[in-house]
């Protein structure tokens, strides 16, 4: 489990709090820099007939834009920059974790929970800003008998409050479990040697391909659930 260990690069204390720069922070900075460089370099010419790199950037843009339009509608396009940044950031962190000897930031629940909590608080504030106190009607299912209403309201509130937990655990658990499996079968390759190591190695190659797919899917799920939560806040669909 040493691959998940957070290590200090240099110590830093701010107002009595430990704000040391760690390997986790380093890979977040690397991810942000790679995304910025990729988008700026890919779109530097803005050619009518795009290059492969420009096509990749445009496909990424359209992919997220369509996601927002399909799940939130045109009213959600003002939040497109945030959703696009979120998707690209999580995707970059997941993909960087697949590089040998790199650090998988999203394998730590504190990181994924911080992202999920920020989204949860932001979406809730948008809901109250858009609808005012009427946003509380979101927790009152329509067409429910009055006798069952108190119980269902409590269930709806609990369900709403668990959103950041479910959103963060889904990403953290998938990334941590996948990397742990790769590490375990990597040790099997060494332990079994030439006689049986090839089977573990073949599984590792196939599982690595699956992990790349999971890395993309988890970024997609994280972004699309954010769109769904945003749609609830804007349109109060139940």
Q: Convert the pLDDT of each residue in 194-221 to its tens digit.
A: 776 777 778 778 888 888 999 999 999 9
Taking the model in full, what pTM does it have?
0.89
Model confidence over 52-77: pLDDT tens digits? 888 999 999 999 999 999 999 898 89
Least confident piece of the model among 16-20, 68-72, 80-84: 16-20
Residues in the chain: 238
Query: How far is Cα 215 from Cα 217, in angstroms, rounded to an integer?
Result: 6
Residues 184 and 238: their CA atoms lie apart, in Å, by 43
Taking CA atoms, 145 is separated from 135, 153, 156, 157, 236, in Å, by 21, 12, 15, 18, 20
Alpha helices in the chain (DSSP H): 23-42, 52-71, 80-96, 109-131, 149-161, 163-235
pLDDT given at position 193: 72
pLDDT, residue 238, reads 47
DSSP 109-159: HHHHHHHHHHHHHHHHHHHHHHHGGGGGGGGS-TT--TTTHHHHHHHHHHH
The better pLDDT of the pair 28, 145 is held by 28
């Amino acid at each position: 489990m040493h691959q998940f260990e957070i290590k200090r690069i240099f110590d830093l204390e701010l107002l009595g709090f430990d704000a040391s720069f760690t390997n986790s922070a380093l890979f977040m900075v690397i991810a942000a820099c790679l995304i910025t460089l990729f988008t700026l370099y890919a779109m530097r010419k803005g050619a009518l007939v795009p290059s492969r790199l420009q096509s990749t950037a445009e496909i990424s843009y359209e992919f997220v834009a369509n996601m927002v339009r399909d799940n939130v509608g045109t009213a959600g396009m003002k939040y497109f920059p945030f959703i696009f940044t979120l998707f690209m950031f999580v995707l970059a962190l997941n993909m960087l974790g697949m590089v040998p000897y790199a650090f998988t930031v999203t394998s730590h629940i504190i990181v994924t929970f911080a992202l999920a909590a920020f989204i949860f608080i932001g979406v809730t504030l948008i809901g109250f800003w858009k609808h005012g106190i009427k946003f509380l009607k979101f927790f009152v299912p329509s067409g429910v008998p009055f006798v069952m209403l108190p119980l269902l309201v409590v269930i709806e509130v609990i369900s709403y409050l668990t959103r950041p937990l479910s959103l963060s655990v889904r990403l953290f658990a998938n990334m941590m479990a996948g990397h742990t499996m790769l590490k375990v079968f990597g040790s099997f390759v060494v332990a079994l040697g030439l006689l049986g190591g090839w089977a573990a190695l073949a599984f590792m190659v196939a599982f690595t391909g699956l992990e790349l797919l999971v890395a993309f899917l988890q970024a997609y799920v994280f972004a699309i659930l954010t769109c769904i939560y945003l749609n609830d806040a804007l349109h109060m669909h139940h």
